[in-house]
Structure 1
Amino acid sequence: METDICILGAGPGGATAALHLANAGYRCLLLDRATFPRDKVCGDALSGKVINELRRIGEELPARLTAAPMQVPSWGIDFFAPNGRRLGIPFRPDFDKTRHAAAGHIAKRLDFDNFLVEEVRRRPEIDFRENVDITQHERLPDGRWCLRTADGTEVATVKLLLVANGAQSSFARQIAGHALEPDHHCAGLRAYYEGVTGLSPDNFIELHFIKDFLPGYLWVFPLPNGQANVGVGMLTSAVSKKKVNLRARLAEMLETHPALKERFANATRLGPVRGFGLPLGSKRRSLSGAAYLLLGDAGSLIDPFSGEGISHAMVSGRHAADWAAQAVRAQNFSPEFLQQYDAAVYRRLGQELRLSRAMQRLLNFPTLFNFIANRAANNPTLAETLSSMFMDLDMRERLRQPGFYVKLLFGSK
C-alpha cells in the first residue's frame, strides 16, 4: 500500500504520534512486530510528564488511567544514598491523597502500553497492524521508503517514516547511525516480586545507590496486587570495566544488604530476571534524516540519571506528529526541513538531559553524592530538582539562571 506516514512501533512514542496525527485529521499506518498486550522490560514508573502527555492526547485519558486497576498512584521518591541515608521527596509538598491527584503512577508496561493501544484501536484514522516485523527499509529513487518483512514481502511504501521501534531498532543503528556507545548506554535487569515488605504506604518509588555497586543503582517500585518491580542498572562501560555480573549482584544485594535483606527474606520472584539495554540521552544525537524521524528509545532519549524513557518517548511522539503533519502539508521530507523536529525535541528535553547527565556523573563520587543527599534534606531547591525528574516541572527557565546552580548546591531553607 502507499501512504504518506508510517510509524514503526506501537509503544508509547509511536502510539502517541499516531494519536496526535489522528486528532489533527491525518491518516497513518502503524506497524508493530508484536501482538498486544505484550510485555516490555522496564521499570514501569509513569512520571508526571506521562500524565501531562496523556492529557495532551485527550483530556479524559489521565482520569481513565487513574481509575484503572492496573496502576497504583505514586506520591514520591525515596533516595537511599551510599551512606545509607534515606531521603524521601514527595512529588507534591504536604500532599493530601484525599484532595490531590497523584503526580505519578506505576503500571506494568504490559498494561500501560496496551492502555495506549486500546485508544489507538478506537481511531479510524489509524491503520494499526500487529505481528508485522519490518526488517528491510529501502529508499526508493523517488525518496519514498519501501518496507518489507524478512521474507521480502512488501508491506508499504511511504513518504515519511516515524521510527519508534525501541532501543534495539535496526533502523536507528544501521541507517541513522546510532551506534551503541558504552559510555552512553545502560545495561539493566528487571524482575517482578511479591511479598516484599516495607513498601511505602504512599507508593514512593525507591532508588538505592549502594556504595560497592556504584555507578549503578537498584530500584524497588511498588505495583498493584502487592507486587513490586525490582531491578538494577549500570552504565555499560562500567559493567565492562568492573567486570560486573549484574544478575549475581542483584541476587546478592537482595540477600545481604542491610536495607534490603529482611524485606526480601520471604519474598517470591515471579518469573525470570530479564535483561534490557537503554540508549541514554547523555549525548545529543541526530533525530532525523532523509524522510525519517526517530522517536523515544530509537532516538536514544532515555534520561541518563533516572532511566525514565516513557515520557520522553511521548514528548518526541507529540513533536513527531506535529512535524510529520507539517512535512505532509509542505510535501517536504528533506533532512533540512525535518531537522526542525530535532530542534523542537531538544528545546523541550535538552537542558533536562544535560542536568541528568551531570547527576549521573555524581555516581562516580560517593562522598559528593552523600554530601548532596545530606544537603537536600534542608535544601528545597535540590529536593525539588530531584523530584522534577519524575514530574512535569519545566525547568528550562531556571536552568538558564546562574543563581539556580548556587541554590542547587548550597541553598537552604
Structure 2
Amino acid sequence: MTHPHPEIRADVIVLGAGIVGVSAALHLQMRGRNVVMMDRRGVGEETSHGNAGLIERSSVIPYGFPRDLWTVLAYALNGSADVRSDWRFLPRILPWLWQFWRESAPGSLQKAAADMLPLIERSVAEHELLMTEAGLLEELRRTGWIEAFRSPKSLDQAAKNAAALEPYGLHFDILDGKALRQREPHTSETLIGGIHWRDPATVPDPGGLVKGYADLFLRRGGRFVHGEARTLQHDGIEWTVRSRDGLVRAHNVVIALGPWSDTVLRPLGYRVPLAVKRGYHVHFRPRADAVLHHPVVDVDGGFLLAPMTRGIRLTTGVEFAHRDSVPTPLQLDRTEPLAREIFPLEERIDPRPWMGARPCLPDMRPIIGAAPRHKGLWCAFGHAHHGLTLGPVTGRLLAEMMTGRETFTDPRPYSIERFAA
C-alpha cells in the first residue's frame, strides 16, 4: 500500500536552482525565512553550469546591439564566429532584436549602464560573502581576465574604449605582445597584444560553485525538491507547486527559472520580452606542460579560452535560435582551429559539446522584484551574460525587498512593470 506524500510548508518557494535561485534562497534563509528550492533537474545543471567562470566586475557597459552597419551585416550573414543566427528563427526574434537595437542607442545604453552599476560594482564582494560562508573562498581567483587581439587596429580601438571607462575607476593594463607573453607564456604570437582587466574575479568550476552554495543552504536547514515549475498555482491565499516529495505550499514564490521563466509567468497573464542567446562549450587537454593562467578572450577570433577544473574550456559567443531546438555547435567547430592557433591544445575531453541558454531582455536589465497583480509573486531572472556575476547580489536585493528591509539600491530599474501592464 502506498501512502501519499505529506504537504511541505514553507515561507518561500524558490523555483529554479541556478546561481540566481540558489543565491536568493540563501539570502532569504539568512533573513530568517524557511525556504524550499525546486528544480526539475539538479542544482546548477542548466545555464549556470556552462559559463566562462567570470565574475565580471569590469563589465560596466552592457553588451548592446552593434551600431556599425558592417558588423550588423556580418552577424546577419553568419560571417562572424562570435554571433550566429538560425535563419528559420529570425522572423520570430526580429521584433525583439529591433527593440534591443533601439535600447542600444548611446543615450539608452548609458542609462542602462547607470542602472546596472550598483549591481556590477558589488558583484565580487557579494560572491566573497557567500564563498566565505560556504568555505569556498579558495576557489576565488583574483587575477582578472585578458582581452586579446590579433590586429593592431582592434587593439587600438579597444584601448580607446577602455580609456573611456576611466570615470568608473577600473584597473586595467594595456599589453603589447611581449607583456602579454609575460602573463601568458604559452600563448602564440598570433596575439599581438591585449588588455588585462584586473578587477574581475574568476572561478574554475561555476557549476560546482553553485552546488557549493546549495550545500550551504541545505546545511542550514533549507530543503531542495525535484518538480515541474509549471504546476504552480495560486488559490488566492497561498502558492502551491507539485514536487516528487509532495505538494509544496507557501505564501511567497520566486521565479528564478532563467530562460524558462516566461513559461510560468505567461499563464499568470504576464508578457515579458524574454529571448535567449544560446552558447556552447567544450573542454580540451592542454598540450604537454602548457598552462593558461587567465581566461583569454580572442576578440578577433570570437571565442574565449578559460582554465577550468576539467581542462581548458572553449566557449562560444552568441547563437540566436529557439531555446529548445536541436543543438548546432557550429561555432565550436569554427573556432576550434582558431583556438589552436593561439594556445597548444590536445584532443577534446568531452564526448559531446555542452549547450546552454542565456535569458536576455532587450533593455539589458534583469527583472528583480514583485509582480504587480499577484500577492507573493516575485521574480529574479533575465541576467543575460551576467548570471554568475550577478547571482549573489540579486539574491541580496530580492531578499531585502521580500523581508521589508532597506534595499542597498533603488530596485525600480529592475521592475517587471516596465514590460508587464
2:136 to 65, 72, 79: 65
1:132 Cα deviation after fit: 3.1
For the Cα contact (< 8 Å) 2:19–2:391, is it kept in 1?
Answer: yes
1:171 to 247, 258, 264: 264
Alpha-carbon separation, structure 2, partners of 1:165 and 1:251: 30
1:232 to 316, 323, 331: 316
1:207 Cα deviation after fit: 4.2
**Residues 165/21 of structure 1: CA separation in 2 closer, same or farther (3 Å cut):** same
Alpha-carbon separation, structure 2, partners of 1:72 and 1:246: 32
Which structure exhibits the higher relative contact order, with contacts defined as CA atoms closer than 8 Å and separated by 6 or more residues? 2
Q: Please list the CA deviations of residues 248-300 of structure 1 after superposition, one character each: whole Å capped at 9, or x if unmatched.
A: 23213322x3x6436356343423112222122442575431221111xxx21
**Residues 207/73 of structure 1: CA separation in 2 closer, same or farther (3 Å cut):** farther
Within 5 A, what are the aligned runs for 1:233-248?
Answer: 233-234=317-318, 236=320, 247-248=329-330
**Residues 279/209 of structure 1: CA separation in 2 closer, same or farther (3 Å cut):** farther
2:35 alignment counterpart: 28
* Alignment partner of 1:54 is 2:127: yes
State the AA in 2 paired with 1:191: V
Aligned residue for 1:107, secondary structure, equals: coil
Alpha-carbon separation, structure 2, partners of 1:317 and 1:44: 18
* Alignment partner of 1:293 is 2:350: no
1:74 alignment counterpart: 143
* Alignment partner of 1:138 is 2:233: yes
Alpha-carbon separation, structure 1, partners of 2:413 and 2:383: 10
1:15 Cα deviation after fit: 1.9
1:199 Cα deviation after fit: 7.2
For the Cα contact (< 8 Å) 2:258–2:382, is it kept in 1?
Answer: no
Alpha-carbon separation, structure 1, partners of 2:172 and 2:317: 29
2:26 to 19, 24, 46: 19
Q: Please list the CA deviations of residues 39-91 of structure 1 after superposition, one character each: whole Å capped at 9, or x if unmatched.
A: 62322323455431134447x348x43424xx6553322243777855799x7
* Alignment partner of 1:43 is 2:52: yes
1:393 alignment counterpart: none
Q: Please list the CA deviations of residues 384-407 of structure 1 after superposition, one character each: whole Å capped at 9, or x if unmatched.
A: xxxxxxxxxxxxxxxxxxxxxxxx
For structure 2, list consecutive stretches of 5 or more residues without a partner in the other structure: 1-7, 58-121, 163-169, 174-182, 184-197, 416-421
Within 5 A, what are the aligned runs for 1:292-331?
Answer: 292-295=377-380, 299-302=381-384, 307-326=385-404
1:119 alignment counterpart: 216
Give me the CA root mean square deviation: 4.1
Alpha-carbon separation, structure 2, partners of 1:267 and 1:67: 29
Aligned residue for 1:271, secondary structure, equals: coil
State the AA in 1 paired with 2:224: R
Alpha-carbon separation, structure 1, partners of 2:150 and 2:403: 46
1:344 to 399, 407, 411: 411
For the Cα contact (< 8 Å) 2:12–2:251, is it kept in 1?
Answer: yes
Q: Please list the CA deviations of residues 203-247 of structure 1 after superposition, one character each: whole Å capped at 9, or x if unmatched.
A: 14324344xxxxxx321111136x12212122527x99xxxx952
Alpha-carbon separation, structure 2, partners of 1:53 and 1:92: 19
Aligned residue for 1:230, secondary structure, equals: strand
State the AA in 1 paired with 2:331: R
Identical positions, percent: 13
1:205 alignment counterpart: 296
Alpha-carbon separation, structure 2, partners of 1:341 and 1:51: 15
1:271 alignment counterpart: 351
How high is the TM-score relative to the length of structure 1?
0.60
State the AA in 2 paired with 1:52: A
State the AA in 2 paired with 1:166: G
**Residues 15/273 of structure 1: CA separation in 2 closer, same or farther (3 Å cut):** same
1:157 to 242, 246, 249: 249
**Residues 220/345 of structure 1: CA separation in 2 closer, same or farther (3 Å cut):** farther
